Amino acid sequence: MARVILLRFVSSVVLFILVPTVTFFVQTLTPGEVARSVLGIGATQEQIDAFNHRLGLDSPPLERYFDWLRHFSQGDLGNSYITGQPVSEILGSRIGVSMSLVIGALLVYSAVGIVIGVGSSVGGRVWGRVVDLVSTIGIAIPNFWLAVILISAFAVSLGVLPAIGYVPLSESPSGWLVSLILPVVALAFGGITSVAKQARDRMIATLDSPHTGVLRANGVSEASLVFKHALRNSAGPVITVLGLNFVGALSGSVVIENIFVLPGLGSQAITSTANRDLPVIQGIAVYFTVIVVVVNIIIDVIVPLLNPKVRRSS
Amino acid sequence: MSSPVVADAQAKERFRTARAFARNPLGVAGLAFVLITSGCVVLAAQLAPYDPKAQDYSTVLSGPISAHPLGTDQLGRDILSRLLFGGRLTLLGVFEAVAVAFLIGVVLGLIAGFAGGQVDNLISRTADIVMAIPAIVILLMIYAITSNNPHYGMLALGLLSVPGICRVTRTATLAAKSETFIDVTRVIGMGRARIIFGHVLPNIWGPIIVNTSILAALTLGIQGGLNYLNLGVTPPDPSWGGMVSEAQQSLQLQPWLIVPSGLTLALTIMAFILIADAMRDATAAAGARSERPARRRKAAQPAGPVSERTAGPAVTAPGPVDGAASALLAVRSLSVAFGGQRVVQDVNLTVDTGETLGIVGESGCGKTVTASAILGSLGRTARVSGDVSFLGQNLLGVGRKARAQVRGKGIAYVSQDPMVALDPCFSVGSHLGEVVGRHDGLRAGARRARVSELLTMVGLPNPDDVAKKFPHELSGGMAQRVLIALALAGRPKLLIADEITTALDVTIQAEILDLLRSLRDETGMAMILITHDLGVVADICDRAAVMYAGQVVETAAAATVFLAPAHPYTQALIAANPIVAERGRPLASIPGSVPPPAQWPASCHFADRCLRVEPVCRSGPVAMSQAAGPGQTARCVLLNAGAEAFPVGLERPAKEGP
């Protein structure tokens, strides 16, 4: 157990250094491009040189890298090329929006996925086919297309929900909730499938196992067999899938935030990509990595704790 | 130099998977869809009615019309043409990403799987780290610095997808490596490369193709999202994802526009998923078929056509049942069928209060199915007929609730293989506490006391320590005792124990039997012991029922079964028991094996293996009839004809196997 966490910690540190390093060297490959795209096609060579000098882009890449690494180790992610604002300041105001969206989606696909999975596991063969079918459709419908369909149905045709925009929680809790409904549903939909499938498979495996037969024959109720024993036995694999989906939803949030015009990390990522504002993109890479690392560590701690074998041996 | 046997086995395996795939209509439809779509996209220049960028302001947002079967967009461009041309960059991108992931992933996976050790460690750890990289940000970066180049982004996506394919290949390689035919090639002395490419690779295609197909589906989704954001493909160049974005701009004027591009994308993704599903099933089916002939255990599996009609009334009528009216449990004319195949036929049994009945027979005789029918634990696919009366109530006729009432309190159950019979997630105390709570309604301290009492009853010292243990911390003997305690919790009137000593070593077996005997004497409960071990019957049972091929062939007092067995099968079983063997002479055995249900004749099931078989044995169904001993019945036509001809038990009907 301790070893698992230590290993995960080491690989997290590697990941934590690796992602920004990769993005850093990728961006240093094309220094002239950045100035040109920021200053526009009409910029003179002097202007470009001045720009590069001001941002230190004219010094040797390795020197810049260590310089950057020094700042990074102190928590300084640099400043935006475009606005000059500190990256952490730009992103700090946006991470709440992204987390509302991604955690909202997590709640939706966990709840719906587990209910469908557990329900279908006790519902017999017909339900199994239904889940398989819905699962395939769930994977097949791309989230951005679903988002457009949802906007078309609930915002344009019915007019019951806002098509785009975000209301901060501090401004209006109900407005916040309403503004998140469609984005959360669009983002959660693809995750429901794998959660439901995993929950169903694990539930059926447990309900078919010899220990279920023994407990049933000796008087344990069906409700307990399903909701206590089978659910408990399924928890580890299901939580692992929830974690994988969380990482997937993080990627998906970039597209969804743009569709629904939510001021989160994802829409900033696209804006900054269009502007070639590399420090901001790099900052977002760091934030995303932190989130992924934290989620993985949480799962690495929770899942073994659910298994008595691992728990007892530590 | 390649061994013909090995090559042959592989070729068969491969074609078997392909054939199994071809039998799956959804998989074939998915493959056909992908191939046809790819073909149309490649021939876009020939098939498309218009230039994909040609604008025509006279027909804007037309919806499907004859000139534009899929309509036009806000600039009057033909949707069908844009869809065909847009598929080029879309599918090419998917191909690029998947090809990169596939080539690198398979090579690294093979290396990791084959080399093992440090190399494997390095590759696997690196794969773990790459898997955790948030791909989307890297992709955005790459689009930013490559001026939205469609190819670099997809190649990068391919690189980031390498770990998935690598992992699958490694796992499959490890599995393939351990298989016999690889050992054979190694013994023959083939080079490593030849083993990998000639023998391992062909055998691990299944899971690799499954995951590559899933990767293609995922890549389509991710790429669609990027294209939707105008990344990778710059308008006015068409792409499927980009067309959804264009459609969104005229959502209010022409909602139809979101259908063609989005649906094409969704159908293509679904096609890849269907291919993956079918391939997975095909691989599993091929694997299962090649293993099946080697070890098939359960006769309960549905197999083959129904070979036999229900026998005449003489047989289905309840056989002579002693004291059935007063019996604790009376099973009458019990039959069980799976998928039209009867695996248990016309079983009649009675167990009196406090009595111990042994059900004996070889594997595949229907002992466990009979017990499951009594317990009501057969699956939905089983068809059960007859009558199982417990305390005068027919359990086959009652509803779920009444049945649940009987479980644990009326009839309890101890299963074979104790190591898998407890829920690994819960402690011993939690198991017992749950049933105690259910049966006695006890809580907290009283519940703990009763759990301790139960554990003490089954001879476990330090019951409070045992209660804290989890199943994986128990030995086989301890686990079996815990199971018995679990069964005793409801103070059952009847305990059904299925091969409870089989998984234990000999000294523990004796202890468990001693425990059962003393518990029976203490509690006065009746027991049914299902066993293939005549020693168990001799040791503890009052009466025995011998089963053969789905039927009870003899019932008698335990002593009578040993001293004066009436049925030739019983006689053969006893002769084959090591306990009665004479030193220095080969142990007798019954030639042949129990036939599968599909091959059971309507007449005597044992005739083909019986040394006394006569023409009359094959003339028709045989009913149970009274034999010489008190309460002894047997299912043999020769019973009364030649009862004297084969007197008491220890004659050796079979010398040895053929």
Give the separation between CA B646 and CA B500, rounded to whole angstroms.
Answer: 33
Q: Token digits for B612?
A: 């006394």
Q: Please check whether residue B346 lies inside any domain of the structure.
A: no
Q: Please check whether residue B90 lies inside any domain of the structure.
A: yes
Q: Please check whether residue A104 lies inside any domain of the structure.
A: yes
Which of B122, B140, B159, B374 to substitute to test the interface with A, most A CBs within 10 Å? B140
The amino acid that residue B77 corresponds to is R
Average pLDDT, integer, range B175-180: 70
Three-state secondary structure call for residue B498: strand
Between B144 and A170, name the one with better pLDDT. A170
Preceding omega of B236 cis (within 30 degrees of 0): yes
Whole-Å CA distances, B558 to A247, B330, B371, B576: 65, 18, 19, 17
Q: Please check whether residue A11 lies inside any domain of the structure.
A: no
**pLDDT value for B312:** 30
Give the ipTM of the model, two decimals please: 0.86
Give the separation between CA B197 and CA A33, rounded to whole angstroms.
Answer: 45
Which chain B residues contact residue A271 at CB under 8 A? Answer: none
The domain that holds A182 is classified in CATH as 1.10.3720.10
Q: Do B404 and A221 touch (CB under 8 A)?
A: yes
Q: At residue A97, does pLDDT exceed 90?
A: yes
**pLDDT value for B179:** 65
**pLDDT value for B1:** 43
Average pLDDT, integer, range A276-284: 84
Span of B44-58, B279-293, B301-315 with lowest mean pLDDT: B301-315
CB pairs under 8 A between A and B: 235
Give the separation between CA B328 and CA B331, rounded to whole angstroms.
Answer: 10
Q: At residue A96, does pLDDT exceed 50?
A: yes
Q: Radius of gyration over alpha carbons of chain A, in Å?
A: 24
Say what percent of chain B tops pLDDT 90. 35
Task: For residue A301, name the pLDDT band (cuts at 50, 70, 90).
Answer: confident
Which of A7, A164, A218 to substitute to test the interface with B, most B CBs within 10 Å? A218
| Average pLDDT score over chain B | 82
Structure confidence by residue, pLDDT tens digits, B295-331 = 333 333 333 333 333 333 333 333 344 444 568 999 9
For the sheet with B393-394, list strands across it.
Answer: B341-351, B329-338, B382-390, B393-394
Q: Please check whether residue B84 lies inside any domain of the structure.
A: yes
- Maximum alpha-carbon separation in chain A: 86
**pLDDT value for A307:** 80
Q: At residue B292, does pLDDT exceed 90?
A: no
**pLDDT value for B321:** 42
A247 touches chain B (CB under 8 A): yes
Q: Who among B141, B423, B496 is closest to A23 (CB)? A: B141
Average pLDDT, integer, range A76-95: 89
Task: For residue A5, name the pLDDT band (cuts at 50, 70, 90).
Answer: confident
Residues B280/B282/B285/B289 CA torsion (nearest 10 deg): -140
Q: Do B132 and A219 touch (CB under 8 A)?
A: no
Residue A165: domain span: 95-263
Give the separation between CA B235 and CA B233, rounded to whole angstroms.
Answer: 6
Q: Who among B147, B229, B258 is closest to A270 (CB)? A: B229
Residue partners of A240: CB distance under 8 A and separation at least 6: A299, A303
Distance (Å) from the alpha carbon of A170 to chain B's nearest alpha carbon: 29
Which chain A residues contact residue B226 at CB under 8 A? Answer: 255
A121 touches chain B (CB under 8 A): no
Residue A85 near residue A272, CB atoms below 8 Å: no
Q: At residue B657, does pLDDT exceed 50?
A: no
Q: Catalogue the E-assigned strands of B138-247.
A: none
**pLDDT value for B320:** 40
Distance (Å) from the alpha carbon of B168 to chain A's nearest alpha carbon: 17
Q: Do A309 and B408 touch (CB under 8 A)?
A: no
Q: Who among B138, B417, B470 is closest to A210 (CB)? A: B417
Between CA A282 and CA A290, with CA A288 as vertex, the angle to 5 degrees is: 105
Torsion over CA: B515, B521, B527, B531 (sign): positive
Q: Please check whether residue A42 lies inside any domain of the structure.
A: no
**pLDDT value for A137:** 83
Q: At residue B645, does pLDDT exceed 50?
A: no
A91 touches chain B (CB under 8 A): no
Task: For residue A106, name the pLDDT band (cuts at 50, 70, 90).
Answer: very high
Q: At residue A101, does pLDDT exceed 90?
A: yes
The domain that holds B84 is classified in CATH as 1.10.3720.10
User: What phi, psi does A125 have (nearest 5°)?
Assistant: -70, -40
Q: Do A26 and B266 touch (CB under 8 A)?
A: no
Structure confidence by residue, pLDDT tens digits, B400-434 = 888 888 999 999 999 888 888 999 999 999 999 99
Q: At residue B265, does pLDDT exceed 60?
A: yes
Q: At residue B531, does pLDDT exceed 70?
A: yes
Whole-Å CA distances, B151 to A116, B47, B89, B516: 39, 25, 9, 73
- Give me the half-sphere count of Cα atoms (radius 13 Å) on the Cβ side of residue B463: 19
Say what percent of chain B tops pLDDT 70. 85
Between B359 and B533, name the one with better pLDDT. B359
Q: At residue A188, does pLDDT exceed 80?
A: yes
Q: Who among B136, B147, B473 is closest to A251 (CB)? A: B136
Average pLDDT, integer, range B210-216: 92
Q: Token digits for B611?
A: 């040394």
Structure confidence by residue, pLDDT tens digits, B92-101 = 999 999 999 9
Burial B200-218, CB ≥16 within 10 A → b, else e: bbebbbbbbbbbbbbbbbb
**pLDDT value for B182:** 59
Q: Please check whether residue A229 lies inside any domain of the structure.
A: yes
Structure confidence by residue, pLDDT tens digits, B436-493 = 999 988 888 899 999 999 999 898 989 999 999 999 999 988 999 999 999 999 999 9
Which chain B residues contact residue A4 at CB under 8 A? Answer: none
User: What phi, psi does B389 have (nearest 5°)?
Assistant: -95, 120
Q: Do A229 and B144 touch (CB under 8 A)?
A: no
Q: Do B244 and A144 touch (CB under 8 A)?
A: yes
Task: For residue B641, name the pLDDT band (cuts at 50, 70, 90).
Answer: low
Q: Token digits for B220?
A: 């389509």
Place of tokens 């490593």: B192
Task: For residue B10, name the pLDDT band (cuts at 50, 70, 90).
Answer: low
Structure confidence by residue, pLDDT tens digits, B362-384 = 888 889 899 999 998 887 788 89
Find, among A136, A210, A25, the residue nearest to B141 by Cα: A25
Q: Please check whether residue B586 lies inside any domain of the structure.
A: no
**pLDDT value for A33:** 65
Q: Token digits for B367?
A: 């002992």
Structure confidence by residue, pLDDT tens digits, B21-38 = 888 898 999 999 999 999
The DSSP bridge pattern shows strands B551-557 and B526-531 to be unpaired
Q: Who among B217, B439, B470 is closest to A219 (CB)? A: B439
Distance (Å) from the alpha carbon of B637 to chain A's nearest alpha carbon: 38
Domain count, chain A: 1
Q: Do B413 and A217 touch (CB under 8 A)?
A: yes
Average pLDDT, integer, range B631-658: 57
Residue partners of B524: CB distance under 8 A and separation at least 6: B353, B354
Q: Please check whether residue A240 lies inside any domain of the structure.
A: yes
Instruction: Give Cα B60 to chain centroid, integer Å.
Output: 58
Q: Who among B145, B421, B487 is closest to A210 (CB)? A: B421
For the sheet with B356-360, list strands across it.
Answer: B411-414, B494-498, B526-531, B356-360, B543-548, B551-557, B633-634, B625-626
Find, among B414, B420, B605, the residue nearest to B513 by Cα: B414
Give the separation between CA B338 and CA B570, rounded to whole angstroms.
Answer: 27
Q: At residue B520, does pLDDT exceed 50?
A: yes
Q: Please check whether residue B537 lies inside any domain of the structure.
A: no
Which chain B residues contact residue A124 at CB under 8 A? Answer: 380
Q: Do B145 and A30 touch (CB under 8 A)?
A: yes
**pLDDT value for A79:** 87
Give the separation between CA B104 and CA B162, rounded to whole angstroms.
Answer: 6
Q: Catalogue the E-assigned strands of B226-276.
A: none
Helix (H) or strand (E) holding B544: strand B543-548
Q: Do A139 and B472 touch (CB under 8 A)?
A: no
Q: Do A213 and B377 touch (CB under 8 A)?
A: yes
Q: Which DSSP state fits A82? A: T
A15 touches chain B (CB under 8 A): yes
Q: Who among B408, B409, B425 is closest to A232 (CB)? A: B425
Q: Who among A18, A142, A247 is closest to B265 (CB)? A: A142
Domain count, chain B: 1
Give the separation between CA B322 and CA B319, rounded to whole angstroms.
Answer: 9
The amino acid that residue B219 corresponds to is T
**pLDDT value for B646:** 44
User: What phi, psi does B86 have (nearest 5°)?
Assistant: -60, -30
A88 touches chain B (CB under 8 A): no
Note which residues in 51-80 of chain A have CB less than 8 A from chain B: none
Q: Do B144 and A143 touch (CB under 8 A)?
A: no
Between CA B73 and CA B79, with CA B74 as vertex, the angle to 5 degrees is: 10
Residue partners of B446: CB distance under 8 A and separation at least 6: none
Average pLDDT, integer, range A197-218: 90
User: CB B602: neighbour CB atoms within 10 A?
Assistant: 17
Q: Which DSSP state fits B492? A: -
**pLDDT value for B299:** 36
Residue B195: domain span: 10-50+71-288
Say what percent of chain A tops pLDDT 90. 29
Q: Who among A27, A124, A157 is closest to B145 (CB)? A: A27
The amino acid that residue B9 corresponds to is A
Note which residues in 212-231 of chain A have CB less than 8 A from chain B: 212-222, 224, 228-229
Residue B531 near residue B509, CB atoms below 8 Å: no
Instruction: Give Cα A220 to chain centroid, integer Å.
Output: 40
Find, among B474, B654, B650, the residue nearest to B561 by Cα: B650
A164 touches chain B (CB under 8 A): no
Give the separation between CA B597 and CA B590, rounded to whole angstroms.
Answer: 19
- Give me the half-sphere count of Cα atoms (radius 13 Å) on the Cβ side of residue A96: 10
Average pLDDT, integer, range B275-300: 62
Q: Which DSSP state fits B503? A: T
The string of DSSP codes covering B351-413 is E-TT-EEEEE--TTSSHHHHHHHHHT---TTEEEEEEEEETTEETTTS-HHHHHHHBTTTEEE
- B385 forms beta bridges with B335
Whole-Å CA distances, B242 to A230, B61, B90, B561: 45, 17, 10, 82
Q: Do B486 and A273 touch (CB under 8 A)?
A: no
